[in-house]
Structure 1
Amino acid sequence: MKKSLLIYFILIVPYTLTAQQPTPIKPRILISTDIGGTDPDDNQSMAHFLMYSHLFENEGLVSSPSYGHGTKQHILDMIDLYEKDLPQLKQHQQGYPSPDALRAICKQGRHGAAPFVGYTSSTEGSDWIIRCAKKKAKQPLWVLVWGGLDDLAQALHDAPEIQNKIKVYWIGGPNKKWSANSYAYIVKNFPNLWFIESNGSYNGFFSDNKAPDSLKNANYYNCYIQEAGYLGKDFKNYYKGVIKMGDTPSLLYMMDGDPNDPLKESWGGSFEKFDRSPRIIYNRNTTLTDTVTVYSVVELHFKGPEINIHPDSACFTMTVQAGIGEQKWDGFYLGKSNYAIKYCPKQTETLSYTITSEIPGFEEQHGQLVVDNVWPGKSRPYDYQLGENWFTDKQDTELFDDTQQGGKTVLKWRNDVLLDWGKRWRWLQAEN
């Protein structure tokens, strides 16, 4: 887009962020977030959402922490701050939702990852997804997933008919690690779902590459936010004000002219179709001769003692050691002496793992894996076959931002997004 045209839209149509054209109809959105968990970037993205919430038909805010201790209360706390800033925001822009309207759509989803099968029992959050999806509406419900897929998988299991009424934009990558089981359930059972899987592209939003000093992650707070309003003062509590906001590209995507076309350029990324999701199964411990695809579903199956517990019960632990340190994952008993675990590596690395259990007679196991950096990579026999409407990060090497596939499709617009947001922070400066 030409710079002059971009300036025109910012000045003449200040209520719309756009890489192409203003969105003609407010999209119906439901956000599933793991806010309050281990990564505070969801709080940063929630602040961004609230300051642009007039652009959407807001139908749900679901707390779905597949890892960590996030709750609905963390969303409500952010809405409380928004309520205090709302009078100032409304002086510059009409159409903001009332705080009570936002509180009414906050729902509690599942705490913790789903078991091996990918679903368990319904939650307030999964039931709300179903209810919103079944509304009579001319446009689909966009489900923007900032964390794990557990509540979405549960909703699809309980009401499979909603698959034709929703469209999903998922911030994958590390979130795929925390919800490997629910992801596997969805791709296996709902291959015709409309789904954007952003594993690498979203990283472009917290990349400093090509950013002027004022827009660098460590400088943005002091240059633009400066404790503006209650949201601004609170922002300092997350990464000490250093911006990350890895989930924000899902919102930016919805602000574009036609979110139904993932192939076009968009502030939330540009994607391409893919027809298979990599899945690798090993019936043994792996070694350094085994290379798997980044973001793929890796399954380890093995035999062990016959035990009298319910199938799909967590009963052993896989401890993974890699460049990020040590992390632990639950493994499951499948019945008849069969044990298994799913794991999704999030980056290129060489990792080691140890499998242990307190079950008598369970032998400690060890293995290693090499993770490559090309997604979805070569075809494998156990890959999940997908339908026509699955999209993911572009494979063009020219669009990598460092090691992040597709990262430049988001990075390209980052400066414009942050400058526009800076204007809204100035709206709140008068409160100081």
Structure 2
Amino acid sequence: MSIIKKYLPFFTLLLSLPLSAQQPVAEKPRILISTDIGGTDPDDNQSMMHYLLYCNEFDCEGLVSSPSFGDGNKSEILRMIDLYEQDLPKLKEHNKEAKTPNAFYPSPEYLRSITKQGRHGAAPLAGYSTATEGSEWIVRCANRASDRPLYILVWGCLDDVAQALHDAPEIANNIRIYWIGGPNKKWGINAYVYIIENFPDIWMIENNSTYRSFIAKYKQKDRWNGGFYDYYVKGCGFLGADFYNYLHGMPKLGDTPSLLYMMDSDPANPEKDSWGGSFERYNYTPRHVFHHTTTAKDTAQIYSIIEWHIKGSVCKKLSIGDECITLNIANQNWRGYYLGNGNYVVKYSTYKTGTQPYSITSEIKGFPIQNGYITIDNAFPGKHLDTNYTVGKQWWSDRTGPTLFHDGHQGAATIFKFRKDIIEDWGKRCSWLKNINK
């Protein structure tokens, strides 16, 4: 019998599987979530609700509040765990429908015990400062003896991860990071720079734009977009009722792809097809360094690190790393730093394309004020520059293929093709809680 005839039934089965089929993971993955929940963006609350409905699929070892900006803190995580506790009896009835082996919903007491407070406010120029409850918990979890790696899902900035790596660099070999980057890069730029400069060989998925296909089109009122709440969530438990408090129930869900990635097939392979996106290996990421006032002819890549270095007066009252200059761009202010000997720097990153005006000012006497422009191109990582950051063989980011853009977002098509199936799967989970609070 030929090999083809022998395995024909198996090949036929593979071909018959739909593209949308989610392949279960072989064992429950170890995860730790770092989130800026309660801060400036309500989609973290939406994704936390998603996590709590699916938390039987993971061995979650930490829920860290890491609000680089805004007023978020761990009390917001604890508040949502309280809602989960009220919905838990209904969820437990469906343990048998889990996607992974030995999947049981954790107790509210356990979830509270692993909820920790991370850093408030962005890290200074060095990229790290002092340890937090959250960063110390990351170190503790990463050093725990296990034959499974710890996946750290970062829904905001990397500040607590950077602090943990600084304090315990040996954990770099024990952790894998799935980071929702994009706009979070500019909010936590110093932590990102610290990691990429000091740990370029770390296992990292830098998701700058792939996740954006999961943000709903609010004007489309079908059940996968603007009609999501009314169709799937309304009347579904205490968590479902709370969901309306965020964008009036309009699903943004920018952080949810990190969870989807951990539930689909082999998390160790970022290049596979996955509900959480498919990524390609990079050997560098872009960094542009300017020593002059830039004009519209000066171009930088979207999501790149942009540095303006300015020569000014020597200020003996300042120490290296002191905040002392201000970049105003896109109606936002960003602080810059003193480097010593009359040298100043400000760092920036953006997810908006086009030509943007900016100014750099300071109250320091004699500081040379800059008023210029910078043009942002929608091509990451772009051409190779001597100033780019070199990374190792375990750094992945958004796929660059032109056919994998969706609505102008690089790599986003790798999630968009599964979007309806993902929403319907989540809708089924929501239905488990139907009318529990009546």
Same structural fold, with TM-score higher than 0.5 when normalized by the shorter chain: yes
Deviations 1:52-82 (A, max 9, x none): 0000001011111112121111111111111
1:204 corresponds to 2:213? yes
Is residue 154 of structure 1 aligned with residue 163 of structure 2? yes
Say whether the 8 Å CA contact 1:207–1:411 is kept in structure 2: no
State the partner residue of 1:13.
none
Gaps of 5+ in 1: 8-17
Tell me if 1:415 matches 2:424.
no
Q: Which amino acid aligns with 1:259?
A: P
Alignment map for 1:223-242 (pairs within 5 Å): 223-242=231-250
Is it true that 1:66 corresponds to 2:65 in the alignment?
no
- The 3-state SS of whatever aligns with 1:428 is coil
% of aligned pairs identical? 53
- The answer to whether the Cα contact below 8 Å between 1:45 and 1:245 also exists between their aligned partners in 2 is yes
Matched, 1:221 2:229: yes
**Cα displacement (A) at 1:2:** 8.0
SS of alignment partner, residue 82 of structure 2: helix
TM score, norm. by length of structure 2 = 0.92
Matched, 1:396 2:401: yes
Find the counterpart in structure 2 of residue 57 from structure 1: 59
Where does residue 264 of structure 1 map in the other structure?
272
Cα shift at 1:4:
6.7
Query: Could you tell me how far apart the structure 2 residues matched to 1:163 and 1:144 are?
Result: 15
Amino acid paired to 1:268: G
Whether 2:104 is the aligned partner of 1:102: answer: no
Give the drift of 1:357.
Answer: 2.1
Aligned to 1:250: 258
Matching residue of 1:320: 329
Q: Is the 8 A contact 2:216 2:224 kept in 1?
A: no
1:171 aligns with 2:180: yes
Aligned with 2:179: secondary structure?
strand
Measured against aligned partners, the alpha-carbon deviations of 1:372-424 in whole angstroms (never above 9, x if no partner) come to 00100100111111111100111111010011000010111111111011111
**Which deviates more, 308-317 or 177-186?**
308-317
- Rg larger in structure: 2
Tell me whether 1:354 sits opposite 2:359 in the alignment.
Answer: yes
Find the aligned partners of 1:2 and 1:33 in 2 and give their Cα distance. 38
Q: Which structure 2 residue ranges, 5 or more long, are not aligned?
A: 1-12, 97-103
The answer for the alignment partner of 2:303 in structure 1 is 295
CA deviation after TM superposition for structure 1 residue 24, in Å: 1.0
Kept in 2, the 8 Å contact 1:36–1:69? The answer is yes
Partner of 1:193: 202
Aligned partner of 2:410 in structure 1 is 405
Q: TM-score by structure 1 length?
A: 0.93
For 1:405 and 1:176, the matched residues in 2 are separated by 16
CA gap of 1:267–1:25, structure 2 versus 1, over 3 A, is: same
How far did residue 309 of structure 1 move? 2.3
Could you tell me how far apart the structure 1 residues matched to 2:127 and 2:65 are? 18
User: Which shifted more, 92-101 or 200-209?
Assistant: 200-209
What is the match of residue 8 of structure 2? none
Aligned length: 416
Secondary structure at the counterpart of residue 309 of structure 1 = coil
1:142 and 1:168 in contact (8 A); partners too: yes
Q: Which residue of 1 aligns with 2:3?
A: none
CA contact under 8 A between 1:34 and 1:147: conserved in structure 2? Answer: yes
AA matched with 2:379: V
Distance across 1 between alignment mates of 2:394 and 2:162: 17
Aligned match of 1:11: none
Counterpart in the other structure of 1:25: 27
Aligned partners of 2:64 and 2:148: how far apart in 1? 20
Alpha carbons 2:221, 2:227 under 8 Å: kept: no
Write out aligned runs for 1:75-86 (5 A).
75-86=77-88
Contact 1:115–1:332 (CA<8 Å) still a contact in 2?
Answer: no
